[in-house]
Amino acid sequence: MFRPSLCSEKSPWKGARRWLFYVVLSLMLGVLVLYTWFSPSWRPSLFHVEYPYRYHFILDEPNRCRQESPFVVVMIPVAPQGREARDIIRRTWGRESQVLGQLISYYFLLGKSRIVSVIKLKSPDTFKKYHDILQSNFLDSYKNLTIKTMVMLEWLGSHCPNTSYAMKVDSDTFLNVRNLVDLLLEAPRHNYMTGLVARGAAVLRDPTSKWFLSPEVFPEDSYPPYALGVGYVLSLDLPNQILEASKTIQAVYIEDVYLGLCMRHLGIPLTDPPHGGSFVINTPSETTGCYFASVIVTLLQNSEQILDVWKAYETRPDC
C-alpha cells in the first residue's frame, strides 16, 4: 500500500500540537466550571437570596439626609402597597421630628411590587409630598428581606455623612422616639449596635418552619448573637463595615441573623440596652399609656393598632 512519506515525517510535530490542544481545552473547561460555580448567579438556588447584586433606587431622596444632618435616621421597611401603614406612621410616632433638641428623620424602604408600579398608580403625589420614600428595584418579598436590609445599609453608608445613628424598625410597631433619643444621647458613637439581642438561638431545621435553614446553607447549630429585626439601632460607622464583611459571608434570607453573622466576622459585640424590657416583642395584653411611655419599641398586632396605642400614649396621666 502507498503511504505518503510526508505523513510519517510530520507526525511527531502533529502529535505535540494535538496534545497542546487538549491541554488548553481542558484548562479552559476547568476555568469555565470554576467560574460557573463561584459566580453567584449560577450557584444553587438553595441560598434563596441573591445579594450581593447591583440594585439601584428607582425612587430616591439623594440629598435630603446630607442636607438635614439628623441625629438619627429611622428606616421603616414596608411593602410597596403599604400606603395605609405609611400614613398611620406619618400621623403618629413618625411625626416626631425634633426631640430633646435632636433632629430625627424617617424613611420608608420599599422594593419593587409584583404588580407594575402600584405606588405610582395609587399615590402619585406621595413621594413628592413627604420626601420619605426610598424604593429599590429588587422584588419585594419575605425571602428578599436581606436584600432590603443590605440596600438600606448601602443607602445609609453613602447618604448620611453627618448622622450618628440609624434605627431599623418594622411598620407594625410602636416606637417611643423620645426614649430612643434618650438612649442614644448616652450611647457610644462607634461600633455600636443594640436592640433585643438573641444569644445562642437554635437554627430551625424543620423544613416547614418559617425560618428554616438547611445545614448546607448554615451548618452551625446555633446563630451568633443578633439583634431581632423588629427594631435595632446602629451607629453610622457600621453600615460600610457590614457591607465590606458581607462580601465574604454567604447571605441567608433571615436579615437580622445575617447582620449577626457580619458583626461576628467584624469582631464587634452587640450591646444590650441599659434597661431590660425596652425592646419588646411579646407585648403584655394589658397595656396603658404609661406602659408605652416606658418602652423604646413594641411589636403590635398590625399597624392599625398604632392609632389606639398612640392615643393612649398621648393622653396618659403623669406616670
- Per CB under 6 A, residues contacting ligand NAG are 50, 69, 138-139, 141, 143-144, 162
Other CB atoms within 10 A of residue 161 CB: 10
**Amino acid letter, 111:** G
Nearer to ligand NAG, 150 or 261 (CB): 150
- Please report how close the Cβ of residue 134 comes to ligand NAG at its closest, in angstroms: 16
Nearer to ligand NAG, 129 or 143 (CB): 143
- Please report how close the Cβ of residue 138 comes to ligand NAG at its closest, in angstroms: 4
Q: Which residue is nearest to ligand NAG (CB)?
A: 141
Q: Which residue shows C-alpha cell 458581607?
A: 246
Q: Residues near 210 by Cβ (< 8 Å), separated by ≥ 6?
A: none
- Please report how close the Cβ of residue 117 comes to ligand NAG at its closest, in angstroms: 14
Distances in Å between the Cα of 176 and the Cα atoms of 236, 253, 258 are 20, 28, 26
Nearer to ligand NAG, 41 or 301 (CB): 41
- Please report how close the Cβ of residue 140 comes to ligand NAG at its closest, in angstroms: 8
Nearer to ligand NAG, 69 or 97 (CB): 69
Nearer to ligand NAG, 92 or 144 (CB): 144
Nearer to ligand NAG, 5 or 45 (CB): 45
Other CB atoms within 10 A of residue 250 CB: 14
**Under a CB-based contact definition with an 8 Å cutoff, are residues 240 and 268 in contact?**
no
Cell numbers placing 261: 453573622
- Please report how close the Cβ of residue 69 comes to ligand NAG at its closest, in angstroms: 4
- Please report how close the Cβ of residue 267 comes to ligand NAG at its closest, in angstroms: 29
Pairing of strands 72-77, 98-99: unpaired
**Under a CB-based contact definition with an 8 Å cutoff, are residues 218 and 203 in contact?**
yes
The Cα–Cα gap between 158 and 60 comes to: 13
